[in-house]
Amino acid sequence: MHLPRLLSTAIVMALATSAFAADTKESAPPVVTPAPTFSHAAGAPADAIVLFDGKDLSAWKAEKGGEPKWKIIDGTMQMSGGGLMTREEFGDIQLHLEWAAPAEVKGDGQSRGNSGVYFQGRYEIQVLDSYQNPTYSNGQASAFYGHSAPLVNASRKPGEWQTYDIVFHAPKPTADGKVQPGSFTVLHNGVLVQDHIPIPGAATTSAVFTGVAPRGPLFLQDHGSPVRYRNIWLRKLEPKTAK
Ligand code: MG
């Protein structure tokens, strides 16, 4: 294990113990083996915005601006050189994406196949190799990081493709200056793991942005592991104007 990974693990653990109440390993959700692998790797609904179809990164920019450094390999995109942020910003959405932790297992806990999907650059659904890899349960795969452990652990083995289907409703400011909580509903490999859980206004630890906003970019975290993604699309959950 090299120094930056050790350091990042130490930072995560420090944040885990200070910025939010990390669940204990003993409270791990039960394991549920998902249905046998099926491929979603082609196609999206007719009204979807396709963010990655295996060909190019034109919908994305680098975390700190400029062209993204992620590599396109065999129709997938692999984390490299910092996080990835959509050029467009979104409010309430339905998101589909597929991801795979590295087949070669390195590290453990939060150091194994860590990435994350940050809605509005603020609220993270954790990406982590949680196959036989204990960690605090509100930090494992498909957790709303730091807030809500998944109902069950529906993880596939490292290297295998996994699906997230997520319905996100953003927290919204109210007229009296307070925040109306948003919500997450998450299916991991077709298994319900977050059942309409509330999203308070405060952003997840290590979020790109803070504060409540009507829109924000989707952000994929680079946490030092070469996690791969493919077939990413979303649908805006906004009233449609009749044509
Ligand atoms: Mg993460």
The predicted-structure confidence for 19-35, as pLDDT tens digits, reads as follows 566 776 667 999 999 88
pLDDT at 134 (0 to 100): 95
CA of 177 to the centre of ligand 1 (A): 30
Asked if residue 127 is part of any domain, the answer here is yes
* Ligand 1 mean position, distance from CA 223 (Å): 6
Cα dist from 203 to 99, 140, 208, whole Å: 23, 18, 9
Least confident of 76-90, 197-211, 212-226: 197-211
Please give the average per-residue pLDDT across 70-76, as a whole number. 94
* Residue-level pLDDT at 139: 96
* Residue 44, in any domain of the structure: no
Q: How far is the CA of 115 from the centre of ligand 1 (A)?
A: 4
pLDDT at 197 over 90: yes
Distance (Å) from CA 66 to ligand 1 centroid: 22
Let me know if residue 34 belongs to a domain: no
Helix (H) or strand (E) holding 11: helix 3-18
Residues 152/30, Cβ–Cβ less than 8 Å: yes
Instruction: Confirm whether 147 is domain-assigned.
Output: yes
- Which of the given ranges, 7-16, 38-47, 119-128, has the highest pLDDT on average? 119-128
Please tell me the distance between residue 219's alpha carbon and the centre of ligand 1 in angstroms: 11
Q: Is residue 24 part of a domain?
A: no
Number of domains in the chain: 1
Q: What is the mean pLDDT of the chain?
A: 88
List, for residues 82-134, the tens digit of each pLDDT value: 999 999 999 999 999 999 999 999 999 999 999 999 999 999 999 999 999 99
| Distance between Cα 120 and ligand 1 center (Å) | 15
For residue 44, report the distance from its CA to the centre of ligand 1, in Å: 26
Of 19, 1, 32, the closest CA to residue 188 belongs to: 32
Residue 6 lies in a domain: no
Residue 179 domain-assigned? yes
Domain extent for 199: 49-233
pLDDT of 17 strictly over 60: no
Strand-pair partners of 144: 125, 148
- Give the closest residue to 138 by CA, choosing from 185, 194, 97: 194
187 Cα to the center of ligand 1, angstroms:
17
Burial letters for 49-78: b for 16+ Cβ neighbours within 10 Å, e otherwise? bebbbbeebebbbbbeeeebebeeeeebbb
**What's the whole-model pTM score?**
0.87
190: domain CATH number is: 2.60.120.560
Q: How far, in Å, is the centroid of ligand 1 from the Cα of 238?
A: 28
pLDDT at 9 over 60: no
In a domain, 93, yes or no: yes
Q: Which of 2-6, 75-79, 124-128 has the lowest mean pLDDT?
A: 2-6
Q: What is the DSSP letter of 73?
A: E
Query: Where residue 135 falls among pLDDT bands split at 50, 70, 90?
Result: very high
